[in-house]
C-alpha cells in the first residue's frame, strides 16, 4: 500500500486528473507506435476504471468511436459506449457486436487480467483464456490491417499463444512500458496488420 501511494505514476495520474496510473502504459506505447488516430473505431476490453478510455477517446477524435467493456462498473466518459458484463458470456458478446452497428474495428485494446487467486497455474490459465477470447474477437471483428494491443502474463502457454497471434497478424512486437511495475510478470503484445487470410 505504501509503495502504491508513493508510486510516481500514481502521483502523476492524480496530478493530471487521470483515473489510474495505467494510462501511462497506453500513452507510452501509443507515442512510440502511433496506434491511435482520428476517425478510428476502437474496442477496449477490460476497461474499468477507464483511464485507457479517457486517453484513447481524445486521440480518435474527430469522428472516432470507442466501445468499452468490463465486468466491473465504470463511470461514464463522454464519447465512450460502455457495456458492463462478462466478456465470456454470449449475451454480453452480442451486446458488444450490436454496439458496433456493422462497423469493422480498427484497434482492439485489452488490459484485462483475471481475478488472481494466488495459485500460479490457475491464474496463468485464466489469463491465457482472456487473451484467447480477445484474439477470437479480433478474428471476427477486426478489419484486415487492424491492430491489437493486449496484456499477457509470461508463463505456461505463452509461446503457444504467441504463435497463434503470429498466424493472425503480420507483425508481433513485445512492449514493457516504464509504468509497468518491474516485479510484475505482465507484458503487452502489440500485434499489427491483421492478415487477410490467417496462416
Known binding residue 18? Answer is no
Q: 101 — alpha (psi -120 to 50), left (phi > 0) or beta?
A: left
Distance CA 58, CA 190 (A): 21
Known binding residue 75? Answer is no
pLDDT string in tens for the chain (199-residue length): 545 556 888 889 898 989 999 999 999 999 999 999 999 999 999 999 999 999 999 999 999 999 999 999 999 999 999 999 988 888 998 999 899 999 999 999 999 877 767 777 777 778 888 888 899 999 999 999 999 999 988 777 888 889 999 999 999 999 999 988 767 778 899 999 999 988 8
Nearest to 60 by CA among 75, 83, 44: 44
For the chain, the residue count is: 199
List beta partners, residue 82: 68
151 is known as an active-site residue: yes
Catalytic residue among 12, 14, 37, 151: 151
Domains identified in the chain and CATH numbers:
2-183 (3.40.50.150)
pTM of the model: 0.91
List beta partners, residue 181: none
Known binding residue 52? Answer is yes
Amino acid at each position: 500500500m505504501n509503495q502504491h501511494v508513493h508510486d510516481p505514476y500514481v502521483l502523476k495520474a492524480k496530478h493530471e486528473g487521470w483515473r489510474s496510473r495505467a494510462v501511462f502504459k497506453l500513452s507510452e506505447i501509443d507515442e512510440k507506435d502511433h496506434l491511435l488516430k482520428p476517425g478510428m473505431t476502437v474496442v477496449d476490453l477490460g476497461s474499468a476504471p477507464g483511464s485507457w478510455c479517457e486517453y484513447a477517446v481524445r486521440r480518435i477524435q474527430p469522428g472516432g468511436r470507442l466501445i468499452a467493456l468490463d465486468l466491473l462498473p465504470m463511470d461514464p466518459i463522454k464519447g465512450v459506449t460502455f457495456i458492463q458484463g462478462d466478456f465470456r458470456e454470449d449475451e454480453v458478446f452480442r451486446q458488444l457486436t450490436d454496439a458496433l452497428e456493422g462497423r469493422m474495428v480498427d484497434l482492439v485494446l485489452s488490459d484485462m487480467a483475471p481475478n488472481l487467486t494466488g495459485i500460479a497455474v490457475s491464474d496463468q490459465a485464466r489469463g491465457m483464456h482472456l487473451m484467447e477470447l480477445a484474439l477470437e474477437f479480433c478474428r471476427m471483428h477486426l478489419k484486415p490491417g487492424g491492430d491489437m494491443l493486449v496484456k499477457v502474463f509470461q508463463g505456461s502457454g505463452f509461446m503457444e499463444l504467441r504463435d497463434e497471434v503470429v498466424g493472425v497478424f503480420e507483425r508481433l512486437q513485445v512492449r514493457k512500458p516504464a509504468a509497468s511495475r518491474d516485479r510484475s510478470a505482465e507484458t503487452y503484445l502489440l500485434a499489427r496488420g491483421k492478415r487477410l487470410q490467417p496462416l
